[in-house]
Amino acid sequence: MLKLTLKPLSPAARNHMAQTCHFSGKFPLLQYNFLRIGTGKCKGHLPCLLRLQPFAMFTQYPCSVVMYKTAWPTKSIQLHSVCNFATKPKKEIQQVSDQKEGRVTVAKKVVQAGKDVTYLGVIIVGLGITALMFFTVGKELFSSKSPNVVYTRALKRCKSNDEVTSVFGLPLKGYGEMTRRKRRRHVSHFEYEKDGVMHMRVKFYIEGPDKKGTVHCEVRENESGDLDYRYLFVEVEGYPPQTIILEDNR
């Protein structure tokens, strides 16, 4: 059995709460988790069982025991709790487990490499999709050959044209096709190539206080790479049908 030797307390420290103790000898009791301290009964709030930390069973390092105020040197020692095991055994255990886990086999390496490649692929695909989205938006908003820019230019042209403003009335607003979610941001457009020259048709709607209408517009690329109007006209809604032609360079 385990022997628990306690240093005798000096008379001055008798009332002191803490007391050090040493386990001496080997620890034969691997199967016990608890030590019964003293011979008295366990009473109420005073624990009389000493719980052994798991690694305490293998080692014989000093521990310190915090005692309940005891009637030392009588035999019934009632322990409050156990704490402060030396760190040394912990370290040893740590090292052992490190050695076990640190052994990297070829199979583990292969698995890890496969995981890395998969994650890298996911990251690259995500970045690619993000870049594609930004590229699309940038092209739509800033490139001089996007339908949005053609729409902006044509709308400005309509707003500055006296005939259009006299028919539609003045706060003239423009919008594109209505989507299911009641957004009208995207103008409908169609790009095609004829005799090797890029053509683009854009259709959008304008609305003033008096009338509504549809603007049809076609642009083509000229020699210097800019877009010229092939035609631009406004179809006024209502009867009789009325068409205001702003540009006709066919």
Partner 1 sequence: MEEYAREPCPWRIIDDCGGAFSMGCIGGGLVHSILGARNAPAGYKNRLVGSFLAVKHKAPVVGGNFAVWGGLFSTFDCALVHIRKKEDPWNSITSGAMTGAVLAARNGVFAMAASATVGGVLLAMIEGIGILMTRMSAEQFRPVNPQMEDPSQLGPKPTSFGDSQYQ
Q: Find, among 48, 1, 46, the residue nearest to 23 by Cα.
A: 1
Question: What CA–CA distances, in Å, run from 80 to 27, 43, 45, 51, 85?
Answer: 22, 12, 9, 11, 15
Site map 108..147 versus partner 1, x via CB under 8 A: ----------------------x-xxxxxx--xx------
Identity of the residue, 69 or 212, whose beta carbon is nearer to partner 1 in the bound complex: 212
Total of residues contacting partner 1 (CB under 8 A): 42
Site map 224..243 versus partner 1, x via CB under 8 A: -------x-x-x-----x-x
CB 225, CB 246: distance < 8 Å: no
Cα 50–Cα 56–Cα 60 angle in degrees, nearest 5: 110
Q: Are strands 63-67 and 18-24 parallel, antiparallel or unpaired?
A: antiparallel
Identity of the residue, 22 or 199, whose beta carbon is nearer to partner 1 in the bound complex: 199
Task: Please report whether residue 221 would count as binding partner 1 according to CB under 8 A.
Answer: no
Identity of the residue, 80 or 153, whose beta carbon is nearer to partner 1 in the bound complex: 153
Tokens of 45: 């709030």
Cα first-last separation, the chain: 110
Distance CA 40, CA 49 (A): 11
Site map 163..182 versus partner 1, x via CB under 8 A: --------xxxxxx-x--xx
SS3 of residue 21 by DSSP: strand
Q: Residues 194, 196, 223, 239: which binds partner 1 (CB under 8 A)?
A: 194
Residues lying near partner 1 in the complex (CB under 8 A): 130, 132-137, 140-141, 148, 151-152, 155, 171-176, 178, 181-186, 190, 192, 194, 199, 201, 205, 212, 216, 231, 233, 235, 241, 243, 245, 248, 250
